[in-house]
Chains A and B, each alone.
Chain A
């Protein structure tokens, strides 16, 4: 089986160690008035890049993140014994994408939130390549934690990305292809490195856990 998609749009945001309040102030005009008060930093960043893709109802959205809603998780745990319903809701994966899609009332047929570690990018790309949707929006990112970061179980930086992967060959910025050959395992491509490759428009290949090589090239 060989499968291929055309990369037709890319959007990346690097918010480094920016505080959530700064992100909120910077991005609030991109979202419906009054909606950002409940949005997480990751929701704001992912929402920002996802809107650059113009999501439509027949798209498939694949969302990949290792740690997802870290700050909401931290604050929800801090709210006990009087648990906060808002923080409970927003701490649940995959709230970052839901925050922006619900804010704009944009239904979507298929939404696959994937988490993981070393193989996260490979599994996300595999899911995109086997999806029957005409267009797949692969998005993701991380938000920086506080006390969970101190314990080594959160991201140390904020970033988000989105790319549109189409079956239509027109408008190609690049191409992602899965080959047929069985390949020996290689060092996996981590999420931050994937983000960097997208931002810098660098090509890469990786061997998926199913042993096929996935190649990402730019026009």
Chain B
């Protein structure tokens, strides 16, 4: 059964970063986010951070913390679960 948070994050990534030729469903649950086949870089990471902060009501303090949180999709989901306002985490 798919994780609704992961599914939501996949849609958020494709939408926020305007990724071409890729659908959310094509992203693996443990998809590396930086420098991988997605070819995301640090600016993409920060754009994601801004969107995630706004969407989930959490705070990432500095660029070092954002780098850790965004190493892969699984890490990002874990970070959100740990820091987000629980009411904002999708249940389905």
Contact = CB atoms under 8 A, between A and B. Distances in A.
A contacts B directly (C-beta below 8 A): yes
Interface in B8-50: 17-21, 39, 43-44, 46-47, 50
A86 B43 contact: yes
B92 interface: no
Interface residues of A, number: 10
A38 B39 CA distance: 13
Contact of A82 (B19, B44, B54): B54
A52 to B, nearest CB: 24
A85 B43 contact: yes
Contacts of B53: 82
Interface in A63-119: 82-86, 89
Contacts of B17: 37
A82 B49 CA distance: 11
Q: How large, as a class, is the contact surface on chain B?
A: 10 to 19
A85 B50 contact: yes
A34 interface: yes
B20 A34 contact: yes
B20 A86 contact: no
A151 B19 CA distance: 33
A89 B43 contact: yes
Nearest to A79: B50
A82 B50 contact: yes
B22 to A, nearest CB: 9
Contacts of A84: 47, 50
B70 to A, nearest CB: 13
Given A38-B18, A82-B50, A85-B46, 6 more contacts: A34-B19, A34-B39, A82-B54, A85-B47, A85-B50, A86-B46
Top 7 A-B pairs, shortest CB-CB distance: A85-B46, A37-B18, A86-B47, A82-B54, A86-B43, A34-B39, A37-B20
23 contacts: A34-B20, A34-B21, A34-B39, A37-B17, A37-B18, A37-B19, A37-B20, A38-B18, A38-B43, A82-B50, A82-B53, A82-B54, A83-B50, A84-B47, A85-B43, A85-B46, A85-B47, A85-B50, A86-B43, A86-B44, A86-B46, A86-B47, A89-B43
Interface of B: 17-21, 39, 43-44, 46-47, 50, 53-54
